[in-house]
Amino acid sequence: MEIVLVLHNIRSTYNVGAILRTAEGFGVSKVICSGYTPWFRKPGLLPHLSSKLQRQIQKSALGAEEMLEVEWSDDLPRKLAELKSAGFLVAGLENNLDSSTTLLTDPGLKDKLPARVVLILGEEVAGIPPEIRKLINLFLEIPMKGQKESFNVSVAAGIALFKLSFLD
């Protein structure tokens, strides 16, 4: 399965770095940063800010930021439309939405997914904003057993990428 990962409105540089390291480990084909996700190669970013962001992301990415194809999108809806036209299904990793979400443990998950998937991760607290949610074809959820209602976004990314990478 080809996976494109979207990091939309991720606040923490350390989460971005950890997600990049995990994405590289699971063979993600591309990462797209958008919204206010910190990315050191964002067009128009001042050099001193770029350098600071790069140092912070490198602390947890440990070189994965240079191994992956990472691009910046100022227009995520347009980018998602392009990916859909190229045969990708757009999935959002969310929790506590409603019964329309598909659990990552669903035995029929493989049948719901084509060979090309975009996985969107949203902001650490608020998740994926409504204007992006309406562009998503399938919502995926990680079932929880404890009292907390969510995982850290980088941990959730690892769980989801592991599951998607080994659906075969």
Report how far apart, in Å, the C-alpha atoms of 69 and of each of 5, 94, 132 are.
11, 24, 22
The pTM of this model reads 0.94
| pLDDT tens, position by position, 61-100 | 999 999 999 999 999 999 999 999 999 999 999 987 777 7
Amino acid at site 93: L
Residue 168 pLDDT more than 70?
A: no
Alpha-carbon torsion 122, 162, 19, 91, what sign? negative
Confidence of residue 150 (pLDDT cuts 50, 70, 90): confident
The tally of domains found in the chain comes to 1
Q: Mean pLDDT over all residues of the chain?
A: 94
Alpha-carbon torsion 102, 108, 112, 113, what sign? positive
Report how far apart, in Å, the C-alpha atoms of 57 and of each of 48, 118, 145 are.
14, 22, 31
Residue 27: give the domain boundaries: 2-165
pLDDT at res. 101:
86
Q: Lowest-confidence range among 81-85, 86-90, 117-121, 142-146?
A: 142-146
Q: What CATH number corresponds to the domain at position 61?
A: 3.40.1280.10
Q: What is the C-alpha to C-alpha distance for residues 35 and 150, in angstroms, rounded to an integer?
A: 22
Residue 35 pLDDT more than 90?
A: yes
Confidence of residue 167 (pLDDT cuts 50, 70, 90): confident
